[in-house]
Chain A
């Protein structure tokens, strides 16, 4: 349903090309100093056909369309675009098409919105929701991330018990439920309602940001 009206003028290569610099497909950029600088929020234009009941026709038609649009779209995942955080404006409302019999009118609405869409290679901060022997699960807003123990540094070992956790041998770093972690995304999938990511903390500057256990 979403469509785009303007022809593509620039071709961003990957998510790490966050500021959409012009690059050609044939020659990917050389090692990118800013490769890990993340941009997961995008301001984009989407289009949607909206049906409106005739009772809304009148001076407040546009208001109705906008509030319905917000209700329908915000907080959902729009196909591959990502999670619609907020609608920032309505660019265009096309000609209404009356549907035979029902009296409903369908308006093509072009709107601007901010979407959240993590990409491979980006850094994300997330809160740990579950720790077990397979790894840990974490959440960042609408995104669910799994960091399997393949992608947890080898010096961190799983400890079972009342509060299962991964801890370094010297005990200095601990990941448990509610910990905040910085992780790098190595794979993503956007569903109709959810975004799933595979994350790793097996790299420099990744891992625990805050440790709920230490605060107590």
Chain B
């Protein structure tokens, strides 16, 4: 029905009067006269009938519902499958377990959700208003697992900031970045550009080198999810950049609004089983419950604001017009690790039923391959009073597959030290063993690869200063590697600090800091 069909009274008839009553009277007179002009194919008392309908709904909702249920139970007006069983006379109603809800309606029986029933988990990232009970989640996971394994796929959960991308607020762009025309680069019409302006959010985003190839390759081995502590609008914008045709992450973009626990990420909102889930994230802290599924990523800092936020005084990649390398950067490296994990998991020589296999021990096995065959001795790396076996570096080396020892012997391959003057350091030099800085272990830990030992030499005090200067200046070539190492170490320390000081107040501040800097 269009506006044109609504009769409008002739304006002139009542003009000239500023008396309201008279005006309205005339209007209403016209209106009642026009009533018959309304299309009304239902007859005269249609109106009143419908009013009853409405009233019944309004005032008699409960009663009405009860009547409808009665209908349903007897299988008269509605015939729901399976829910209603029994003979027509002796009605027996099997209670629906209400597996989940869609905007407050049980999606199995259609009944409204009991207001006191707030169990289950919201799955707003799949569809607004969707909520699943734990039994249903388990059921879906089991069904999903079979499908996945049939396709020879595992589940991969990807963090965004510092893992796949780096973002900055436009207002935080440094003068040097401005001068280099970073904003122009972000709006250039170039298919291969990796820096983008998110205009609506006043942000710039830089894709990590190799990310497109990474996603393409990983999608053959994994069902992938994005899982970010950023907000929903941001996550969706980034997903559009990473996956313009929406093939990798359909209904699989999880943001802070989906988290069930504040400041924590959990696999509870993922309809994939824990035993097939691999997580890539640069922050360990948020995955308290799922550390075994996690592959910790080296943080990607491209923008100056990102470096500042994490406390590096060095010139950022953007400011020095450099970037991680495509071929052997963090994403290329981790892709190899994922391939290895996938291959071991689906190893046909293993007899265990696929459904019973677990990716977590596989991750451990692959990690143990990194420093396999290395036997390390630490020299004055730990405080004298501490038990070396309990030191983080010792444990890390063991997780990477190295054997750690407190005494030197002929089977030792590496001496780890910070000072060239120790007895064990001199022993290493005399016996042609590798003498490396502890950063060598950390680098291997981040890159899942044994690093060339010569790149981690011990530096005499004088040289140390010079190298530091180099790093600050930030040049090309090999020194970049050094810089990255510095970054890795500093990073480590910062994140460790924040984890240890997990008192509520400080946590808040670090959260705030993250939010301010948009991660």
Q: Are A114 and B1 in contact (CB under 8 A)?
A: yes
CB distance from B180 to the nearest CB of A (A): 40
Q: Are A95 and B6 in contact (CB under 8 A)?
A: no
Whether, in the assembled complex, B71 has its beta carbon less than 8 Å from a beta carbon of chain A, the answer is: yes
B250 contacts which chain A residues (CB < 8 A)?
132, 164
Whether, in the assembled complex, A81 has its beta carbon less than 8 Å from a beta carbon of chain B, the answer is: yes
Cα distance A146–B76 in the bound complex, in angstroms: 23
Whether, in the assembled complex, A126 has its beta carbon less than 8 Å from a beta carbon of chain B, the answer is: no
Q: Are A189 and B103 in contact (CB under 8 A)?
A: yes
Cα distance A130–B246 in the bound complex, in angstroms: 13
Render A16-34 as a binary contact track against B, CB cut-off 8 A, 1 for contact: 1000100001001111100
Given contacts A93-B24, A162-B247, contact A151 B81 (CB under 8 A): yes
Whether, in the assembled complex, B472 has its beta carbon less than 8 Å from a beta carbon of chain A, the answer is: no
B14 contacts which chain A residues (CB < 8 A)?
59
Q: Which of A82-90, A167-175, A207-215 contacts B (4 or more CB under 8 A)?
A: A82-90
Whether, in the assembled complex, A133 has its beta carbon less than 8 Å from a beta carbon of chain B, the answer is: yes
Q: Are B126 and A134 in contact (CB under 8 A)?
A: yes
Residues facing B in A90-141 (CB within 8 A) are 90-93, 95-96, 105, 112, 114, 120-121, 130, 132-135, 137
Q: Can you list 10 A-B contacts with CB-CB less than 8 angstroms, sorted by A residue number?
A: A12-B53, A14-B67, A14-B68, A16-B77, A28-B71, A60-B11, A62-B31, A66-B3, A89-B37, A112-B38
A59 contacts which chain B residues (CB < 8 A)?
11-12, 14-15
Q: Are A134 and B103 in contact (CB under 8 A)?
A: no
Cα distance A90–B1 in the bound complex, in angstroms: 13
Q: Are A31 and B57 in contact (CB under 8 A)?
A: no
Of chain A, the residue at the smallest CB distance from B28 is A93
Task: From A11, A31, A194, name the one whose CB has the most chain B CB atoms within 10 angstroms.
Answer: A11
The 8 Å CB contact of A93, one of B31, B74, B78, B151, is: B31
Cα distance A160–B149 in the bound complex, in angstroms: 12
Q: Are A89 and B6 in contact (CB under 8 A)?
A: yes
Whether, in the assembled complex, B106 has its beta carbon less than 8 Å from a beta carbon of chain A, the answer is: yes
A4 contacts which chain B residues (CB < 8 A)?
51, 54-55
Task: From A6, A46, A197, name the one whose CB has the most chain B CB atoms within 10 angstroms.
Answer: A6
Given contacts A58-B15, A81-B57, contact A198 B110 (CB under 8 A): yes
Q: Are A12 and B56 in contact (CB under 8 A)?
A: yes
Whether, in the assembled complex, A61 has its beta carbon less than 8 Å from a beta carbon of chain B, the answer is: yes
Cα distance A187–B14 in the bound complex, in angstroms: 50
Given contacts A8-B52, A189-B112, A198-B105, contact A160 B151 (CB under 8 A): yes
The 8 Å CB contact of A95, one of B24, B39, B54, B271, is: B24
Cα distance A43–B459 in the bound complex, in angstroms: 88
Whether, in the assembled complex, B497 has its beta carbon less than 8 Å from a beta carbon of chain A, the answer is: no
CB distance from A94 to the nearest CB of B (A): 8
Residues facing A in B26-73 (CB within 8 A) are 27-28, 30-32, 34-35, 37-40, 42, 45-58, 61, 63-64, 67-68, 70-72
Contacts across chains A and B counted by CB atoms under 8 Å:
222
Chain B contributes a number of interface residues (CB within 8 A of A) equal to 85
Given contacts A43-B47, A92-B31, A93-B31, contact A11 B56 (CB under 8 A): yes
Q: Are B35 and A91 in contact (CB under 8 A)?
A: yes
Q: Are B24 and A96 in contact (CB under 8 A)?
A: yes
Whether, in the assembled complex, B496 has its beta carbon less than 8 Å from a beta carbon of chain A, the answer is: no
Render A45-89 as a binary contact track against B, CB cut-off 8 A, 1 for contact: 110000000000111111100110010000000011100011111
Q: Are B102 and A198 in contact (CB under 8 A)?
A: yes
B140 contacts which chain A residues (CB < 8 A)?
133-134
CB distance from A128 to the nearest CB of B (A): 13
Cα distance A29–B67 in the bound complex, in angstroms: 11
Whether, in the assembled complex, B7 has its beta carbon less than 8 Å from a beta carbon of chain A, the answer is: yes
7 closest A-B pairs (Cβ-Cβ)?
A187-B110, A186-B110, A86-B1, A89-B38, A59-B11, A148-B107, A8-B52
Interface residues of B (CB under 8 A from A): 1-3, 5-9, 11-12, 14-15, 20-21, 23-24, 27-28, 30-32, 34-35, 37-40, 42, 45-58, 61, 63-64, 67-68, 70-72, 74, 76-81, 99-100, 102-112, 126-127, 129-130, 132, 140, 143-144, 147, 151, 223, 247, 250-251, 271
Q: Are A45 and B6 in contact (CB under 8 A)?
A: no
B72 contacts which chain A residues (CB < 8 A)?
120
The 8 Å CB contact of B48, one of A6, A28, A114, A135, is: A6
The 8 Å CB contact of A70, one of B3, B46, B77, B112, is: B3
Given contacts A61-B27, A63-B8, contact A8 B55 (CB under 8 A): yes
Q: Are B20 and A146 in contact (CB under 8 A)?
A: no
Cα distance A188–B105 in the bound complex, in angstroms: 7
Q: Are B107 and A44 in contact (CB under 8 A)?
A: no
Q: Are A45 and B51 in contact (CB under 8 A)?
A: yes
A112 contacts which chain B residues (CB < 8 A)?
38, 40, 47
A91 contacts which chain B residues (CB < 8 A)?
31, 35
The 8 Å CB contact of A43, one of B12, B46, B56, B251, is: B46
The 8 Å CB contact of A148, one of B37, B48, B108, B223, is: B108
Given contacts A28-B70, A93-B27, contact A9 B108 (CB under 8 A): no
CB distance from B113 to the nearest CB of A (A): 10
Q: Are B100 and A130 in contact (CB under 8 A)?
A: no
B151 contacts which chain A residues (CB < 8 A)?
160
Q: Are A189 and B68 in contact (CB under 8 A)?
A: no
B28 contacts which chain A residues (CB < 8 A)?
92-93
A66 contacts which chain B residues (CB < 8 A)?
3, 6, 8
Task: From B34, B79, B132, B143, name the one whose CB has the most chain A CB atoms within 10 angstroms.
Answer: B79
Q: Are A35 and B47 in contact (CB under 8 A)?
A: no
Q: Are B39 and A120 in contact (CB under 8 A)?
A: no
B32 contacts which chain A residues (CB < 8 A)?
92
What would 7 more interface pairs be, CB under 8 Å, given A8-B56, A32-B76?
Answer: A80-B58, A130-B127, A133-B140, A134-B140, A151-B81, A160-B151, A185-B110
Q: Are A86 and B51 in contact (CB under 8 A)?
A: no
CB distance from B121 to the nearest CB of A (A): 13
